[in-house]
Amino acid sequence: MITTTYICDKCKQSKSKEEIYPIEAYYTISRPNYTQQRVTAKKDICKQCLESLGLLTEQPTLDTDNIIDRNRQKLEDKLIDILTDLGVLFEH
């Protein structure tokens, strides 16, 4: 028998497979006189942590387009905060 444990990368608590949402963020570094680099951060975040960040994780009775637009705007507004909370470091 195999038991798999899922851990939220934000709150570090054990969660069930259904409570974990994989998040992948990437950005491209493009500077003069350097080769272009793509950096990827992959994190597993639980439903409670996503909701605490203001993102919707379940389909409410609202219009789907409104939900997608709301989540996109919320993610854009908090992207740097979310990545910093997940341990991504930025250099100037």
> Does residue 81 form part of some domain?
yes
> Does residue 47 form part of some domain?
yes
* Exposure of 88 in the CB half-sphere (CA atoms within 13 A): 17
The mean pLDDT of 9-38, rounded to a whole number, is: 83
**Which residue did the predictor score with more confidence, 78 or 46?**
46
> Does residue 58 form part of some domain?
yes
The mean pLDDT of 3-7, rounded to a whole number, is: 87
- Structural domain of residue 12, as residue ranges? 6-85
| Residue 92 reports pLDDT greater than 60 | no
In this prediction, residue 14 carries a pLDDT of 92
Beta bridge partners of 43: 23
* pTM of the complete model: 0.55
> Does residue 36 form part of some domain?
yes
> Does residue 90 form part of some domain?
no
Q: Residue 80 carries which side chain, given as an amino acid letter?
A: I
Number of domains in the chain: 1
> Does residue 52 form part of some domain?
yes
> Does residue 91 form part of some domain?
no
> Does residue 75 form part of some domain?
yes
In this prediction, residue 13 carries a pLDDT of 92
E strand or H helix that includes residue 21 = strand 20-29
Mean pLDDT of the chain, nearest integer:
79
CA 24 to CA 40: how far, in whole Å?
A: 7
**Which residue did the predictor score with more confidence, 48 or 73?**
48
